[in-house]
Amino acid sequence: MFHHAAGGYAGQGTLCGSVGACSAIINLVAKDEDKTHNQMIKDLVNWYASYNHPTDEFDSIVKFPGQKRVVPGSPLCHVSVSTWAVANDIEIATYERKDRCAKVAGRVAMQTVMMLNDYADGKFTPIAPPVSDATETCLECHGPDGDNNSQGQMACGLCHTHKEDHAE
Ligand code: HEC
Ligand code: HEC
């Protein structure tokens, strides 16, 4: 059902496929009157972006244990893979990189199961850190409570360079 999600959906580098696939499962299980599924998916996305990937928890069964870990700062496949590849000086068309992404997918599935278990026990609470101070500042003017002309909570600086004077 989620074969297409690999490589950020058919190799297009958009949302990390493991986040997308697990979000669909969260939607199936936790879409309730409080829209808990959206709180959970938001938390999964923020957790993913702030997590130091890949985990070493599966090192006993992987081909490349002890890989250097990198916080992607983004849920986007391209950003997540390439910040890691550059930091490790590893090309993306390698088994090392596939191993890294397999660990990421496994860890995202694990995170999702833990969240769903908490939901089933009626005790789900978000654990991911809130947006950074820098992003918070941008959102004061551009977010839903400001001009409401930018979507989401990704780290703005990944794509925009802040013009010091533009907000004066
Ligand atoms: C105090 C309010 C304020 C803050 C804080 C702010 N902006 Fe803006 N931003 C504006 C306004 C007003 C405009 C409209 C165009 C202008 O004045 O340059 C704008 C325009 C923009 C634009 C449109 C293109 C451009 O540069 O004109 C982008 C992109 C942008 N802001 C990104 C950001 C980012 C990223 C941050 C955080 C680092 C940020 N803004 C913080 C008020 C703000
Ligand atoms: C993945 C890349 C990416 C990220 C991350 C990103 N932006 Fe943008 N943003 C764009 C692109 C592309 C545009 C289109 C306009 C342009 O080329 O600057 C844009 C446009 C904007 C505009 C102009 C909108 C308009 O209607 O004039 C604002 C304001 C803006 N972004 C704010 C933000 C803020 C605030 C954040 C962080 C919460 C953010 N962006 C994160 C890529 C991004």
pLDDT digits (tens, 9 = 90+) for 96-154: 999 999 999 999 999 999 999 999 999 999 999 878 888 899 999 999 999 999 988 88
Q: Tell me, using a 6 A CB cutoff, whether residue 160 lines ligand 1.
A: yes
* Same domain, yes or no: 97 and 136: no
Question: What per-residue confidence (pLDDT) applies to 85?
Answer: 97
Report CA-CA distances (Å) from 25 to 28, 29, 37, 73.
5, 6, 9, 23
Q: Which residues pair with 135 in a beta bridge?
A: none
Three-class secondary structure of residue 13 per DSSP = coil
Q: Tell me, using a 6 A CB cutoff, whether residue 15 lines ligand 2.
A: no
Q: Tell me, using a 6 A CB cutoff, whether residue 141 lines ligand 1.
A: yes
> Minimum-distance ligand to the CA of 133?
1
> Minimum-distance ligand to the CA of 146?
1
* Same domain, yes or no: 66 and 19: yes
Read off the pLDDT of residues 19-48 as tens digits, 9 standing for 90 and up.
999 999 999 999 999 999 999 999 999 999
The rounded distance, in Å, linking the Cα atoms of 120 and 79 is: 33
Q: How confident is the model at residue 166 (pLDDT cuts 50, 70, 90)?
A: low
Question: What per-residue confidence (pLDDT) applies to 130?
Answer: 79
* Same domain, yes or no: 84 and 45: yes
Residue to substitute in 150, 151, 154 for testing ligand 2 pocket (most ligand atoms within 8 angstroms of CB): 150
Q: Tell me, using a 6 A CB cutoff, whether residue 149 lines ligand 2.
A: yes
Structure tokens at 116: 């769903």
* Same domain, yes or no: 113 and 47: yes
The rounded distance, in Å, linking the Cα atoms of 101 and 108 is: 10
Give distance in angstroms: CA of 94 to centre of ligand 2.
Answer: 32
* Same domain, yes or no: 13 and 76: yes
Q: Tell me, using a 6 A CB cutoff, whether residue 131 lines ligand 2.
A: no
Read off the pLDDT of residues 101-113 as tens digits, 9 standing for 90 and up.
999 999 999 999 9
Give distance in angstroms: CA of 19 to centre of ligand 2.
Answer: 22
Q: Number of folded domains in the chain?
A: 2
* Same domain, yes or no: 112 and 156: no
* Same domain, yes or no: 117 and 143: no
Q: What is the extent of the structural domain holding 94?
A: 3-127
Determine contact, residues 13/78, Cβ cutoff 8 Å.
yes
